[in-house]
Amino acid sequence: MSELLRLNVDIIVVAGADLAIQAARNGTKTIPIVMIGAGLDPVRAGLVESLAHPGGNITGITSLAGELVGKRLEVLTETAPKITRVAVLYDGTVPDSVFDVKEVLPGAVRALRLISQHWELRTAGDFDKAFPAIVRWRADGISVPRRSPLMRNHERRIVAFSLKNRLPSMYANRLSVDAGALMSYGADLADSYRRVAYYVDKIIKGAKPGDLPIEQPTKFELAINLKTANQIGLTIPPNILARADRVIR
Q: Please, what sign has the CA dihedral across residues 229, 156, 87, 183?
A: negative
Question: What pLDDT band is residue 99 in, cutting at 50, 70 and 90?
Answer: confident
d(CA 124, CA 121): 8
Contacts of 211 (CB under 8 A, 6+ apart): 53, 54
- Please give the pLDDT value at position 188: 87
Q: Domains in the chain and their CATH numbers? A: 2-64+188-219 (3.40.50.2300), 66-186+221-248 (3.40.50.2300)
Comparing C-alpha atoms, which of 98, 110, 99, 47 is closest to residue 74?
A: 110
**What was the pLDDT predicted at 216?**
87
So what's the pLDDT on residue 21? 81
pLDDT in tens, 169-226: 999 989 999 999 999 999 888 888 888 999 999 999 999 999 999 998 888 999 999 9
CA distance 77 to 141: 9
Mean pLDDT (whole number) for 233-238: 97
For residue 237, pLDDT beyond 70: yes
Work out the pLDDT band at 249, boundaries 50, 70, 90. Answer: very high
Distance (Å, rounded) from C-alpha 235 to C-alpha 139? 19
Q: Please, which pLDDT band fits residue 232 given cuts at 50, 70 and 90?
A: very high
Residue 5 reports pLDDT greater than 80? no
Distances (CA, A) of 122 to 98, 100, 118: 12, 16, 13
Q: What is the per-residue pLDDT across 30-89, written as a single tens digit (0 to 9) for each?
A: 999 999 876 667 887 788 999 999 999 999 998 766 778 999 999 999 999 999 999 999
Digit-coded pLDDT (tens) for 141-177: 999 988 888 999 999 999 999 999 999 999 998 999 9
| pTM, full prediction | 0.87
pLDDT tens readout for residues 118-133: 999 999 999 999 999 9
What CA–CA distance (Å, rounded) separates 39 from 36?
9
> Cα(188)–Cα(17) distance, rounded to whole angstroms?
16
Mean pLDDT of the chain: 91
Q: What is the pLDDT of residue 23?
A: 81
